[in-house]
Amino acid sequence: MKPAGNGRPHQDRRAGAPYLRPLVLIQSEPRRAGVDTLDFEKVRLELISNHGIPASEIIVATGDERGLEQIDADYPGGIADPACPVFDDPVVLSNLEGTVLNELSGLAASRIHEGVLWAHNDSGDSARIFAVVPDLTAPALTSVQVISPTELRLLFNELLDATSTGTAAYTLAPGGTVFGVVNGPAPLTTVILTLDAPLVAGVLYTITVGGVKVGGGGRAGASGTGGLDFPNGSM
């Protein structure tokens, strides 16, 4: 089964390090007469039907099914053999950032609350669990300041993805083009825009933002509009 990860074992291997096989182990419930349990057949069906895992990448090891033993028989290095086709390169499903938890362990998706992950902090914490929920709100433009006739400072209400703050994300009207962007200091919530021509005194300008993403999560891009009256005003 393809585990979530950052591909580091494969990068290290290409650099000459010993091969390291990433694994995800899932323990099913035992079958019991007259009781509906999550046995290995239901787990396998869930992985194939709802998570897109190819059947060929799922190995079952029970008292009756000896999938791992067959892998050992087919490949000299067993499941750690680089030629074993069961596991592919890891796929990054998401990044979990913006949390005060230092070391998350035991991640489990809630069966009742969609999008909620239960976890505990494994870094010297007490015996408690946390509900980790996604922040689905894109960053919003909250302030526009005129630094000089050719420079604007934009302030957002959330951390920004530095790779999404390029010149294409901003439109100035009437006229004018943003031809340079300097990201502010960490934590990144501000950007400074350089214009191709000076602002004209007494003209009401509108700066429109589209496509700037939140830092860490890659959510939908920020959108917003700010008005400024050079040289007296700001949004």
pLDDT band at 152 (very low <50, low <70, confident <90, very high): very high
| 137 within 8 A of 213, measured Cβ to Cβ | no
Same domain, 101 and 147: no
**Cut 0.75: pTM above it:** no
Name the domain boundary from 115, 134, 153.
Answer: 134
Find out whether 131 and 118 touch, Cβ atoms under 8 Å: yes
Q: Is the pLDDT of residue 6 over 50?
A: no
Q: Is 103 in the same domain as 158?
A: no
> Looking at the predicted structure, is the pLDDT value of residue 194 above 90?
yes
Q: What is the DSSP string of 137-156?
A: PPP-EEEEEEEETTEEEEEE
Nearest to 23 by CA among 3, 44, 9: 3
- 207 or 127, greater pLDDT: 207
Alpha-carbon span 174 to 203, nearest angstrom? 9
Average pLDDT over residues 85-102: 63
In this structure, are 159 and 207 located in the same domain?
A: yes
CB-CB contact of 188 with 215 (8 Å): yes
Q: Are residues 63 and 81 in the same domain?
A: yes
Which DSSP helix (H) or strand (E) runs through 43?
Answer: helix 40-51
Q: 72 and 103, same structural domain? A: no
Number of structural domains the chain divides into: 3
**Integer Cα distance of 20 and 127 in angstroms:** 32
101 assigned to some structural domain? yes
Note whether 14 and 64 are same-domain residues. Answer: yes
Give a yes or no: residue 9 inside a domain: yes
Domain hosting residue 117, numbered range? 97-134
Residue 106 or 162, more confident: 162
Check residues 106 and 74 and name the one with the higher pLDDT. 74
Domain annotation covers residue 234: no
